[in-house]
Structure 1
Amino acid sequence: MNIAYNKTTHTLDKQFPFDPLTELIRALAPVASTCPPAAWVPAVDALETPEALTLHVELPGVKPEDIEIELTGDTLTLRGERRSGKFVRGFTLATPIQAEKVSAAYRDGVLEITLPKSEESKPHKIPVTVEA
């Protein structure tokens, strides 16, 4: 094992003469530095009530006309675009939704999507009777 001073990171690096993993990392370093940064994914807060699921999606810098919402079966897909590029965010809904009553409102950079639950998925109270 050799120890060498790394001028880029100003650290001491251990060098193993025949370490295949180290050689692979060295070989890929120039390629990794040219990769584009990770895509932006909007933050989402989810709230569930007995009546509906509500998503609050933080979309700063996104114009309302650049937002697309699609509900297909149990999958909600949110697409959009802002100056830094396009984004996609998908959600699998565990509760049946009344698709015709889904609504979305955009205000101050926050998109609120309300997904009313179907009647059969709402909780129903069952009375308990006492038998003699």
Structure 2
Amino acid sequence: MADFDPIRELDRFATALLGQRSGMRLMPIDLFREGDHYIVHADLPGIDPGSVDIDVDGQLLTIRAERTVRGREGVAWIAREREGGTFLRQLTLGQGIDTENITANYSNGVLAVTIPVSERARPRRIPVATDQGGDMKVMGHRSGDAAPQDLGERQGDQGAAGGQKSVSA
């Protein structure tokens, strides 16, 4: 048996009663971090890929898509739950995001948006120089070789798509 959602049912009832089918719709998403990228999966079944519009304005990522419902003349509808209209989702990006290299792919009704972490925001080990008998030796690894556990304990929440990071001494 499907879960009963009273808010969704009330919205459906109001839409059917008032005939408002052109309002903004919220698209369900999954957001996760994989390596040096954040990934957004947005459910957009039945959307024409040409109607999908993704833009970045400062630190605001906006995903917009349009679904048009084609009516059939001369049929008696038993149920009609696949609504048309504009679907919208906005995400605030943190400071450590490479907004120039965001990519998107639409496949099987799911829009995948890949948001890379900028090179400056990636964890890295800082080399330590020592002076032993006039020779300078560099200890450590190249930038980008450090694993997160090499940087010490992190505190705080990374947040959605690139929150601030804290490093304790």
TM-score by length of 1: 0.64
Aligned to 2:161: none
**Which residue type is aligned with residue 87 of structure 2?**
F
Distance, in Å, in 1 between the alignment partners of 2:106 and 2:34 is 21
Is residue 20 of structure 2 the alignment partner of residue 36 of structure 1?
yes
Report how far residue 66 of structure 1 moved: 0.5
Is residue 53 of structure 2 the alignment partner of residue 68 of structure 1?
yes
Matches within 5 A, 1:1-132: 34=18, 36=20, 39-83=24-68, 84-126=84-126
Unmatched tracts of structure 2, length 5 or more? 1-16, 69-83, 129-169
Distance, in Å, in 1 between the alignment partners of 2:104 and 2:50 is 12
Report how far residue 45 of structure 1 moved: 0.4
Instruction: Report if the CA contact (8 A) 1:74-1:96 is conserved.
Output: no
Report how far residue 127 of structure 1 moved: 7.3
Distance, in Å, in 2 between the alignment partners of 1:114 and 1:43 is 16
Distance, in Å, in 2 between the alignment partners of 1:100 and 1:49 is 19
- Identical residues among aligned pairs (%): 34
Unmatched tracts of structure 1, length 5 or more? 1-32
Distance, in Å, in 1 between the alignment partners of 2:34 and 2:58 is 20
Distance, in Å, in 2 between the alignment partners of 1:50 and 1:65 is 30
Report how far residue 50 of structure 1 moved: 4.0
Q: Secondary structure at the match of 1:94?
A: coil
Report how far residue 86 of structure 1 moved: 1.0
Report how far residue 40 of structure 1 moved: 2.4
Aligned to 1:22: none
TM-score by length of 2: 0.51
**Which residue type is aligned with residue 66 of structure 2?**
E
Instruction: Report if the CA contact (8 A) 2:62-2:91 is conserved.
Output: yes
Q: Secondary structure at the match of 2:42?
A: strand
Report how far residue 73 of structure 1 moved: 1.4
